[in-house]
């Protein structure tokens, strides 16, 4: 019984300290439970597609769904930028700019934001605007989250808030 009380006090103490540290410094966290292979094919589906050969872009809109390996992204609209020297539809994708109701799922983790920029060559996703990350029963929110897909981590910045579920004993 005494061990259970000590355990509960320790958890409560950590919970009371953790949000203050996160809010003051930003938070580095694991994301997706796995590393993402950014060389995998990118599959995109949407209600509409507009291609601009002149600037090497394509705009997918309406119920946009993107998949790469186990990672999934959905948004209202996604601008696809192709690598320099390659026209839309014939080249390698360099960046995806998603806007409106952006949801990113990787492994057991899910994040939502107003917009996201996925720089494929860098293996980095920057989510901005009312970011909410859920990991099981825990949730974190901030204004910006930078995800490093090469090592499976993320950094949350800008008034980070957390809701952590205490362990049951």
Give the lowest-confidence range in 28-37, 41-50, 99-108.
28-37
Report yes or no on 169 lying in a domain. no
Report yes or no on 140 lying in a domain. yes
| CATH number for the domain harbouring residue 150 | 2.60.450.10
Report yes or no on 27 lying in a domain. yes
Could you give the CA distance from residue 15 to residue 38 in angstroms, rounded to a whole number?
Answer: 35
- For residue 85, how many C-alpha atoms fall within 13 Å in the half-sphere facing its CB? 0
Q: Tell me: the pLDDT tens digits for 74-112? A: 999 999 998 875 444 457 889 999 999 999 998 888 999
Residue 92: what pLDDT? 82
Report yes or no on 78 lying in a domain. yes
Report yes or no on 38 lying in a domain. yes
Dihedral of the alpha carbons of 7, 9, 13, 18, in degrees to the nearest 10: 40
- Phi-psi domain of 51 (left: phi exceeds 0; alpha: psi -120 through 50; beta: other): beta
CA distances (Å), origin 21, targets 13, 114, 130, 140: 13, 25, 20, 13
Report yes or no on 120 lying in a domain. yes
Could you give the CA distance from residue 1 to residue 153 in angstroms, rounded to a whole number?
Answer: 37
Number of domains in the chain: 1
Backbone dihedral angles phi then psi of residue 17, each to the nearest 5 degrees: -85, -40
- For residue 163, how many C-alpha atoms fall within 13 Å in the half-sphere facing its CB? 9
pTM: 0.76
Dihedral of the alpha carbons of 95, 144, 75, 135, in degrees to the nearest 10: 110
Q: Tell me: the pLDDT tens digits for 151-163? A: 888 899 988 888 7
Closest CA to 141 of 125, 156, 124, 126: 156
* Secondary structure (DSSP) of 70-81: TEEEEEEEEEEE
Report yes or no on 168 lying in a domain. no
Report yes or no on 18 lying in a domain. yes
CA distances (Å), origin 81, targets 86, 91, 95, 158: 10, 10, 5, 28
Close Cβ partners of 20 (under 8 Å, ≥ 6 residues apart): none
- The residue segments making up the domain with residue 109 are 2-163
Dihedral of the alpha carbons of 29, 34, 36, 42, in degrees to the nearest 10: -110
């Amino acid at each position: 019984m005494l061990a259970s009380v000590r355990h509960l006090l320790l958890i409560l103490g950590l919970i009371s300290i953790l949000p203050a540290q996160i809010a003051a410094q930003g938070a580095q966290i694991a994301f997706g439970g796995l590393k993402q292979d950014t060389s995998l094919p990118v599959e995109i589906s949407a209600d509409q597609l507009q291609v601009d050969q002149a600037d090497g872009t394509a705009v997918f809109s309406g119920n946009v769904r993107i998949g790469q390996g186990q990672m999934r992204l959905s948004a209202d609209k996604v601008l696809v930028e192709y690598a320099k020297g390659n026209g839309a539809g014939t080249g390698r994708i360099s960046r995806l700019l998603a806007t409106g109701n952006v949801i990113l799922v990787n492994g057991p983790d899910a994040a939502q934001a107003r917009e996201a920029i996925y720089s494929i060559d860098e293996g980095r996703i920057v989510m901005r605007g009312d970011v909410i990350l859920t990991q099981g029963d825990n949730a974190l929110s901030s204004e910006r989250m930078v995800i490093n897909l090469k090592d499976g981590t993320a950094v949350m910045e800008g008034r980070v808030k957390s809701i952590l579920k205490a362990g049951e004993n």
